[in-house]
Amino acid sequence: MDIQSSTELNEPPQMLPPPPGTFVDREELIQHVGDFAVSQGYVVTIKQSKRDRVVVLGCDRGGVYRNRRKPVDESIAENSRNRKTGSRLTNCPFEALGKKEDGLWILSIKNGAHNHEPLKDISEHPSARRFSESEVFLIKEMTEAGLKPRQILKRLRQSNPELLSTPKHVYNVKAKLRQGNVTVRNFKSLRPQKSAVRNNYQSVVEPSWRQRNPPRVPNLIGGRFVDSQSFVSIDVINPATLLVVSQVPLTTNEEYRAAVFAAKRAFPSWRNTPVAIRQRTMFKFQELIRRDMDKLAMNITTEHGKTLKDAYNEVLCGLEVVEHACGLATLQIGEFISNVSNGVDSYSIREPLGVCAGICPFDFPAMIPLWMFPIAVTCGNTFILKPSEKDPGAAVMLAELAVEAGLPCGVLNIVHGTNDIVNAICDDEDIKAISFVGPNAAGAYVYARASAKGKRIQSNTGAKNHAVVMPDASVDATLTALVATGFGGAGQKCMALSTIVFVGGLTPWEDKLVERAKALKVTAGTEPDADLGPVISKQAKERIHRLIQAGFESGAKLLLDGRNIMVPGYEHGNFIGATILSDVTDNMECYKEEIFGPVLLCMQADSIDEAINIVNINKYGNGASIFTTSGVAARKFQTEVEVGQVGINIPISVVPPFSSFTSSKSSFASDLNFDGKAGIQFYTQSKTVTQQWKDLLSNDLPSLQFPCPNSDEASMQLPGS
């Protein structure tokens, strides 16, 4: 190793400026810069502030002084008066500038360089000398009692031996109290044992949304997880215990606008980022998902209720999409046609749209977000994600991993809410495309409102998936598939086979089907032997009960009733046992509506043609399966059934991401589906370029006629030909 390299290794690490971003209010901006400075070991002060439009933040070492005395020649008597020693805080060229534009504060860095070393110890930081709120009021009481600053400090240290403040700091607080300023800064007290390690941002300052009990789910705006300023929250309930897991805020309009602004601001640089770099971010992202797979699965089970095994499989299905995004460059290759006319080439390219948005349901809190934003951002778009308010935790955890993977500030943003946020997304002119998964009525509403604004929209909605069972089907394999896909996830998934059409009658299958369903263990999803967890909410449980009762009252036979099940240790949970209704007809409410619960509806048909007709007249067209050993019957079913996905001797399932997830009829509204080539086409737009590189002679005159490259005559009329 040479001397120069050795010297460079011994140099102190360079301090970083805070990341630029967009903030709702001025105090949030100042807090962001100040907190980041603590993690880097420097001190930020407000150098100049115009409260309405501009705030300038500069750097001071804060208590580290240097001598201002200039070297003088003592032999010169006239300079003796200049020998007086003075000192001041070390100046630093660093400056961060916050400007208010359109109601939002935008942080930019004028000069990110520092001319001093970082603080080595948190005890040197002025924040460490600040008093807590309770200490400020104690100072006020002791001052009124006539105690001096040193006496006050001595008593404060009896209860807080680690207090680093000096009598001067006590005096400053007393002065502010005399002026009527009881708040005295923001009472933020940093303890010396929390070392100001560089880049250890979270260890120094715990976010406010984590400090709440129960914790409050944060928004992600401009690369920062921030607690919403909204006073209205929705409780996220563990459906097995009915305990509050967290609270999700109804994001304010200002915060939503800040998220869109951040996404719009990040788009130009992100779209110009080479696709190879975007792919590398996805490689790192999938690595981090694998690392935290268990945490994600546990969060899904806690908030949704599905079993841990089911939650783990959900994350794996979403992970496949991220892995698919790692190779997205080859799918964005355009086409090139050389010499379409005399010296003229034509080629097409795919370009990102801009700001896109995703609205997610509760049934797959990890997989559906992973359907959306990895493909969108890898194509070069920026994204606004609205998770379900019932189980938002997995989406936020995935966003944390995406930020850790290196996704730049503003590329991915998260906002929470219900109808108001959905309406804002549909109406916002800056959002170019919306991906929606959810109930049928909500999907139709979003599609109509968003498309009326000229947006691209893909809307995957309700389902009533059928399984046609032929008399020659393999009994054990068929029953296993029907029970697994009918009751898995408590039936709360759009791929569930909720209706079975038995060709030739139910009688040979009835007893064995009921026996298999009864064997399912109903308990909390965190239990190791759980087969069937709770439904998402009390309201969902009541709705499922109502539809079961309506089917029974309409003439359906209740082969197995799971409504009155009691789960030991979880008596208050939203549990419904496996339920089977037979003799169901197409005019019953339980068949017309999507039950979205652990309920199997059994119908009968005399022939495969009748069974196919039952599937085709249903308004939903997500998918259907046939179970048979006859290749002729399977081929007939595959050809004639009118659904998006067909299973032959298997349930319909989430297809690999390189093959698009397809739906039809009322289950889907769009021309472009999720995943595969269609997903790339949805998040990009095609641009055709026609070019000619040819010197124009001075005597060449351009033609005013329309050029047609298919005609030799027309090709002679192109400019310069």
List the catalytic residues.
494
CB of 562 closer than 8 Å to CB of 577: yes
Strands 599-605 and 579-582: parallel
Q: Which two tokens stand for residue 599?
A: 């309920």
DSSP at 363: S
Residues 582 and 554: beta-carbon distance below 8 Å: no
| Omega before residue 214 within 30° of 0, cis | yes
Spatial CA neighbour of 321 closest among 367, 275, 277: 367
* Spatial distance between the Cα atoms of 437 and 371, rounded to a whole number of angstroms: 10
3-state secondary structure 579-607: EEEECCCCCCHHHHCCCCCCEEEEEEECC
Instruction: Give the sign of the dihedral formed by CA 594, CA 596, CA 602, CA 604.
Output: positive
Q: How far is CA 293 from CA 248, 285, 286, 366, 548, in A?
A: 23, 12, 10, 11, 36
Closest C-alpha to 192, from 165, 152, 158: 165
| DSSP letter string, 30-52 | HHHHHHHHHHHT-EEEEEEEETT
CA–CA distances in Å: residue 435 to residues 253, 383, 459, 656: 21, 11, 6, 19
**CA 511 vs CA 477, 515, 516, 582: distances in Å:** 16, 6, 9, 12
SS3 for 170-197, per residue?
HHHHHHHHHCCCCCCCCCCCCCCCCCCC
Reading the block at residue 461, the tokens are 């909605």
- Structure token pair of residue 303: 């908030």
How many CB atoms are closer than 10 A to CB 65?
Answer: 11
20: which 2 tokens?
């630029």
Q: What is the 3-state secondary structure (H, E, C) of 447-505?
A: HHHHHHCCCEEEEECCCCEEEEECCCCCHHHHHHHHHHHHHHHHHCCCCCEEEEEEECC
Regarding beta strands 335-341 and 344-352, do their DSSP bridges make them parallel or antiparallel, or are they unpaired? antiparallel
The answer to whether 222 and 413 have CB atoms below 8 angstroms apart is yes
Contact 682, 672 (CB under 8 A): yes
User: Environment class of residue 235 by beta-carbon count within 10 Å: exposed (0-12), middle (13-18) or buried (19+)?
Assistant: middle
User: In this structure, what token pair is assigned to residue 465?
Assistant: 């998936």
Phi, psi of 90 (to 5 degrees): -65, 125
DSSP annotation of 698 reads T
